[in-house]
Copies of this chain bind each other. A is one copy, B any other.
Amino acid sequence: MSATLHRLDARHGRAPSLDPMVQLVAGDMNMVNAAILDRMQSQIPLIPELAGHLIAGGGKRMRPMLTLASARLLGYTGNRHYRLAAAVEFIHTATLLHDDVVDGSDLRRGKRTANLIWGNPASVLVGDFLFSRSFELMVEDGSLKVLKILSNASAVIAEGEVNQLTAARRVETSEERYLDIIGAKTAALFAAACRIAAVVAERPEAEEAALDAYGRNLGIAFQLVDDAIDYVSDAGTMGKDAGDDFREGKATLPVILAYARGGPEERVFWKAAMEGHRASDDDFAHAVGLIRSTRAIDDTLARARHYAQRAIDALGGFAAGQAKEAMIEAVEFAVARAY
C-alpha cells in the first residue's frame, strides 16, 4: 500500500480533466455500452426508443465509469463488472426519467426531455422497466452482496427524492437536511457504483469501505458544484440552464447560505423567490448578486473541496498507478468545473 499524499492543489500543469478516466476505461466501456444496448431492448418499440433517447443523449456515464475505474484500481480481470455497470446506469437512467417528470423539466443535457416528447406516462413506465431490468441484470450476476448494495442504494435514492420534494420551495431548509438529500439522491449511487467493484474483485471489507467513501464524497462534491453552477451565468456549456434550480424553488446550498447570511430584506426576497414569486430574469440576476455578495458560491465550492479532499484521501491505501491517478484527477475535475 502506497502512502503518497494527494492534495487538491496538486496540479498537472494543465486543467484537471475527466479524460484520463475516460481513456482508462474506454475499452471496458464498449462492453458496458453493448450490455446497455442489448438489455434496453423490448418487443414494445416505445421502450428502446424512449430509453435510447436518454441513454444515447450524451451523458458522461459517470457512474458505470466509476465501477470500471474502481475495478481497474483493484486489478480485477474478470467480466462481471460490465453487466453490473450497465445495471448501475439503468438505475440512474430510471431516476432521471422520473426526476424529469417530478420537476416538469423540458431540457436535459441540452436536449428535449423524454417526458416532453413522449409524455409523463411513458417516462414513468419506461423508468419502471429500466429499474426492473437493472435488477434482472444483478440477479443474472448472482451476487446477493451486490444485490443488497444496489437495492439499498435504490431505496435510499427514492427516499432522498421524496425528502427533496417535501423540502421544495422551503427556504428554511437547513444545510444538514440539504446534505442528507444530496447524500441520498446523488452520492448513494456513486458510492454503490464504486463499492460493487470491490465485491466482484473479492477484496476485503476495508477496501469496499474505502471505495464507498471515495464514491460518496465524490458524489457530494459533484452535486455541490452542480448546484453552484446553477448560479454561474456562463454555464450554458454544461448542458444545464443557469437559473433552473432558482426558478424551480430548490433550496440548494448557495441559497441556504445566502439566506442565512442575508439581512431581513434579502430574506424576504429569497422566501418569495423559493415560493415562485420572483422568477424573472431580473430576479435571477438579483439572486446571483446576493449570492456573490454573501460569498455563498465561494463557500459552496469550499464545502465541495472538503468532500473532494476526503474522496482523494479515501484512496490513500491503494497502490499508485494509472487508475488511481485517473480517479484522483476525476475528483479534481469535479470541483474545477465551476472556476
**A144-155 near B? 1/0 per residue, CB < 8 Å:** 100110011011
> How many Å from the CB of A177 to the closest CB on chain B?
11
* A132 and B148 in contact, given A44-B163, A46-B165, A98-B124 (Cβ under 8 angstroms): no
Q: Are A132 and B151 in contact, CB atoms less than 8 angstroms apart?
A: yes
Q: Are A162 and B101 in contact, CB atoms less than 8 angstroms apart?
A: no
Is A239's CB within 8 Å of the partner chain B? no
* A121 and B139 in contact, given A128-B161, A131-B131, A159-B42 (Cβ under 8 angstroms): no
Q: Are B126 and A155 in contact, CB atoms less than 8 angstroms apart?
A: no
A43 CA / B44 CA spacing, docked (Å): 38
| Residues of chain B contacted by A98 (CB below 8 angstroms) | 124-125, 128
| Residues of chain B contacted by A144 (CB below 8 angstroms) | 139, 142, 144
Q: Are B46 and A162 in contact, CB atoms less than 8 angstroms apart?
A: yes
A124 CA / B94 CA spacing, docked (Å): 11
Q: Which of B124, B125, B142, B155 contacts A132 (CB 8 A)?
A: B155
> How many Å from the CB of A195 to the closest CB on chain B?
15
| Residues of chain B contacted by A147 (CB below 8 angstroms) | 135, 139, 147
Q: Are B131 and A165 in contact, CB atoms less than 8 angstroms apart?
A: no
> How many Å from the CB of A121 to the closest CB on chain B?
4
Is A3's CB within 8 Å of the partner chain B? no
Chain B residue with Cβ nearest A152: B136
> How many Å from the CB of A40 to the closest CB on chain B?
11
Chain B residue with Cβ nearest A128: B158
Interface size for A (C-beta < 8 A) is: 43
Within 8 A of B (CB), among A160-191: 161-163, 165-166
Tell me if A's interface is mostly helix, strand, loop or mixed: helix
> How many Å from the CB of A169 to the closest CB on chain B?
12
* A44 and B159 in contact, given A136-B151, A148-B139 (Cβ under 8 angstroms): yes
A259 CA / B161 CA spacing, docked (Å): 45
Q: Which of B101, B128, B155, B166 contacts A120 (CB 8 A)?
A: B101
Is A336's CB within 8 Å of the partner chain B? no
Is A261's CB within 8 Å of the partner chain B? no
| Residues of chain B contacted by A94 (CB below 8 angstroms) | 128
Q: Are A166 and B102 in contact, CB atoms less than 8 angstroms apart?
A: no
Q: Are B148 and A129 in contact, CB atoms less than 8 angstroms apart?
A: no
Q: Are B129 and A165 in contact, CB atoms less than 8 angstroms apart?
A: no
**A98-110 near B? 1/0 per residue, CB < 8 Å:** 1001110000000
> How many Å from the CB of A41 to the closest CB on chain B?
11
A45 CA / B136 CA spacing, docked (Å): 30
A122 CA / B164 CA spacing, docked (Å): 10
Q: Are B159 and A129 in contact, CB atoms less than 8 angstroms apart?
A: yes
Q: Are A129 and B158 in contact, CB atoms less than 8 angstroms apart?
A: yes
Q: Which of B131, B154, B162 contacts A47 (CB 8 A)?
A: B162
Chain B residue with Cβ nearest A145: B139
Q: Are A159 and B43 in contact, CB atoms less than 8 angstroms apart?
A: yes
| Residues of chain B contacted by A148 (CB below 8 angstroms) | 136, 139
Q: Can you list 18 residue pairs at the A/B interface with Cβ under 8 Å? A: A42-B162, A44-B163, A45-B166, A46-B165, A47-B162, A95-B128, A102-B125, A125-B161, A128-B158, A132-B151, A132-B157, A135-B135, A136-B148, A136-B155, A139-B147, A139-B148, A139-B151, A142-B144
